[in-house]
Amino acid sequence: MNIVKSALGRRLLLANAAFLAACTVGFSQTTSGATASEKAKDAEVLKLNPFTVSGQKEIGYGSSRTMSGNRTNKSLLELPTAIGLISKEVIEDLAAVDVHEILRFGVSGVTQNQTIGDDVNIRGFRTNGSLRNGIPARSGPHVNTLYDVERAEVIKGPASMVLGGASTAVGGAVNYVTIKPTAVPSSTVGLTIADLGLTRIAINNMGPLYTAGDFKALYRVTLGALSADRDKEIENEEEKFAGGSLALYFGANTSVDLTAYVVENNGYKYWNDFLDVSNNGVINNWTPSVTALGIAKLNQYSTKSASPFRRKNAGFEDTSAMVELTFLTKLTDNSNIRLYANQNNIVSKDQYSRGITVQQNNYMMNRQDIPQNDNYKTWYYQLDYIHKLELTHLTVDSMVGVDAGFNKTFSELSVNDVTNGGPAALDMRSPDYSGDDAYFAKLMPGRGLPHLSSSQGRSQTVTRYFQENISLFKERVLLIGGLRWFSPSSTNTNNITKVSTTGTEIETKVHKYGIVVKLRPWLSAYYTDAQNIQLAAAGRTDKYKANDQLGDLFSNQAGINKEFGLKADYRVSDNVKIYGSVAQFTMSLTNVRTFGDLGNGVEGIIQSAKDNSTGWESDIGVSAKLGAGRVDVIATYFDGDSYIAANRAVQAQGFVGRKDSIMAKYTFLSSGALNGAMLGAAYETQTGKRNGNFYMPAYDFCNIFARYNLSKKLSLQVNLNNLGNERIIIAQAASALVQTLDPMRTRITLTYKF
């Protein structure tokens, strides 16, 4: 019996949370006896060197500093890069439990690709995976659970120069930054309940652990758990999280930070809806011709209770663990060094039982049974050195460094379908699963018999870089330029045939150049030219004769971004602040594999010029005292166009030509019963997107939320999500592989802070 899914399990979960909260209260009380002056002194952020973010308290939805631009603490005004920052206050107001809930608002140009992982589309290019504290995290169910996440940072455009190979995505990367320990004791216990039996606990406790002279040790402990059913009866959610951080400060010049977590996910969210295929258009990305596409519409038989399989025959069993160590020290007044090490491990034993296609009659579903075992181990190391040279009329910040990543993978996979004795097709008008018991009782590949495929691989990438930041005219003009060299190698072994293959081992180079002009202390203009490299897939073109495989070897692909924009962070008065950015971009991916004309009317495999996207975007925020409270608003705008390499008339997969959002709230600041109370709303609208052989329809998404302080420490918050109460179609991989957003959900959150 699954204890977390049962009513008893939920009560035990709450009892454990209460116990842990009591423990943290006791611990906090033993360490909070410092005087007010001592607390103020401890609260000062230790500014070791440019590798540390100040950690200053941000008010409202705005954030002004980041390390994602070039690994050093910089104001957004100083970076020739569009970076969208989602603050902790946004996460709290949305009572978010999933990363896509926070990416929907507050940052332009980002759209959701799937509901089961961290997969997003940035400016028309897919980013399959995410970053955690600047280091890649493998995409998958609940990799980033938000229990210990303080903020999210969206880096726009090719980011290989900054991330050291952590992202080969053209569109950019999403970096989730974890909570840093504080010198002032604090604890937060959050309990969220919702319809469909959702129960979520999140506990964060932090403060000083030990102080002696110049030495200071700070800690953070994070615990979390979630259990719920979902709108689709086959699906459920179940996760457990434990993590923490230990920060050691050796005087004013040296620190060591250790952060770790482990998350276990045994829930199941997958492609369990299916479409009406009676209006199924046909698209072939390898040919220049495209017929009219159908508009995605849920099949009349795709109900809450209908699914390709029953819950007992499908599920995820995933465990992810990570530990990272950072060493910072100031060598001289003008030079600093950073050493970083990370180890990450993911173990997955999943049952991808799914539908795959709907037959022409529009109700018979072909099915697949896909047992899969995966084990990923990653080691990542970084060394960064920065030196500041201050001359009479200019300042030069020089950075050099080395990154090294090592990966070890093991994967077993079987695909059992009707062609090799897999599950029979299912009549979705009245699903009868009785025959599945006999099927799953048989010995099949991956279920009692060896998997159909089994492989293991090793890969490594070593990179070196340098970057120069030159400041002129009293920091009115900033020139930024850098190069990074990549040296990859890999081997892969087929465990069944015992055949090993060696991957491409070609050194490549990427660049990032930019200029920032501060028109005012609060206003800057910038231009950037950035590039990344994706190594070519194995194979040849058919350049000389159709299908003779004697053409050129496939070339590497370059992701290119050229962009200019304006950024502002203006305090109109003590009561009003306006901030944000506007940017115009042109992005492309060169050498895309497609079909093309080889001459004499013959088509074959070629590499085209590029996939392309262009557009405008803006993120604008306002924080202002108004009457007895404060108004916070953040609005985003994105308007762009794209085309694929095979046909300039065809929109790129997953590209959304228009997306707008606004999130606003009013917080009461006056004394009395309403002090701290908050009322807000968030709205997103986006046009349709091409996905598979359908267009996903346009949609509107609206949330409202309110918070009331029951006491100085206890608050009650209510969130109503998706007021339109529609099952919004997000993604389609085949006619029976569809993912949807839930209809309206109501969440109630109790938060106790002390």
pLDDT tens digits, one per residue of 545-569? 656 667 888 888 899 999 999 999 9
Residue 396 to residues 164, 321, 334, 400, 525, Cα–Cα distance (Å): 22, 40, 11, 13, 20
Q: Is the pLDDT of residue 366 over 60?
A: yes
**Type of residue found at 204:** N
Most confident of 123-132, 209-218, 603-612, 687-696: 209-218
Mean pLDDT along residues 138-166 = 78
Q: 465 CB contacts (<8 Å, ≥6 apart)?
A: 161, 164, 399, 400, 401, 402, 403, 482, 483, 484, 485
In terms of DSSP H, where are the helices of 62-132? 88-93, 99-103
Inter-residue contact 73 to 50 (CB < 8 Å): yes
Q: Is the pLDDT of residue 383 over 90?
A: yes
Inter-residue contact 669 to 675 (CB < 8 Å): yes
Confidence at residue 65, expressed as pLDDT on a 0 to 100 scale:
78
Strands (E), 591-736: 593-599, 602-607, 610-626, 629-643, 658-668, 678-686, 689-691, 694-696, 699-709, 714-721, 729-734
Mean pLDDT along residues 285-302 = 67
Confidence at residue 261, expressed as pLDDT on a 0 to 100 scale:
95
CA angle at 637 for the pair 706 and 577, rounded to the nearest 5°: 60
Q: Is the pLDDT of residue 522 over 60?
A: yes
Mean pLDDT along residues 408-430 = 90
Nearest Cα to Cα of residue 178 among 152, 148, 154? 148
Confidence at residue 290, expressed as pLDDT on a 0 to 100 scale:
44
Mean pLDDT along residues 590-609 = 80
Q: In which band, very low, low, confident or very high, does the pLDDT at 40 lie, cut at 50, 70 and 90?
A: very low
Confidence at residue 320, expressed as pLDDT on a 0 to 100 scale:
92
Find the range with the poorest average confidence among 216-220, 277-281, 329-333. Answer: 277-281
3-state secondary structure of 27: helix
Is pTM beyond 0.85 here? yes
Q: Is the pLDDT of residue 51 over 80?
A: no
The kind and range of the H/E element at 287 are: none
Higher pLDDT, residue 135 or 105: 105
3-state secondary structure of 29: helix
Q: In which band, very low, low, confident or very high, does the pLDDT at 702 lie, cut at 50, 70 and 90?
A: very high
Please count the other Cβ atoms lying within 10 Å of the Cβ belonging to residue 727.
17
CA angle at 141 for the pair 135 and 144, rounded to the nearest 5°: 40
Confidence at residue 9, expressed as pLDDT on a 0 to 100 scale:
39
Query: What's the residue count for the chain?
Result: 754
CA 186, CA 24: separation in Å to the nearest integer? 9
Q: In which band, very low, low, confident or very high, does the pLDDT at 367 lie, cut at 50, 70 and 90?
A: very high
Confidence at residue 72, expressed as pLDDT on a 0 to 100 scale:
73
Q: Provide the CA 35 distance to its chain's centre, in angstroms.
A: 41
User: What average pLDDT does the chain have?
Assistant: 85
CA 22, CA 11: separation in Å to the nearest integer? 17
Domains of the chain and CATH, by start: 7-753 (2.40.170.20)
Inter-residue contact 611 to 560 (CB < 8 Å): no
Burial of 19 (C-beta count, 10 Å sphere; 0-12/13-18/19+): exposed
Find the range with the poorest average confidence among 273-287, 368-382, 526-540, 714-728. Answer: 273-287
Confidence at residue 652, expressed as pLDDT on a 0 to 100 scale:
84
* Residues above pLDDT 90, as percent of the chain: 56
| pLDDT single digits (tens) 311-335 | 899 988 999 999 999 999 999 999 9
Confidence at residue 17, expressed as pLDDT on a 0 to 100 scale:
38
**HEC profile of 520-576:** ECCEEEEEEEEEEEECCCCCECCCCCCCCCCCCECCCEEEEEEEEEEEEEEEEECCE
| pLDDT single digits (tens) 634-661 | 999 999 999 888 777 778 888 999 999 9
| pLDDT single digits (tens) 444-476 | 899 889 999 999 999 998 999 999 999 999 889
Confidence at residue 596, expressed as pLDDT on a 0 to 100 scale:
76
Strands 694-696, 294-295: pairing is parallel
Confidence at residue 277, expressed as pLDDT on a 0 to 100 scale:
86
| pLDDT single digits (tens) 5-37 | 344 333 333 333 332 333 333 333 333 334 444
Mean pLDDT along residues 201-211 = 96
Q: In which band, very low, low, confident or very high, does the pLDDT at 145 lie, cut at 50, 70 and 90?
A: confident
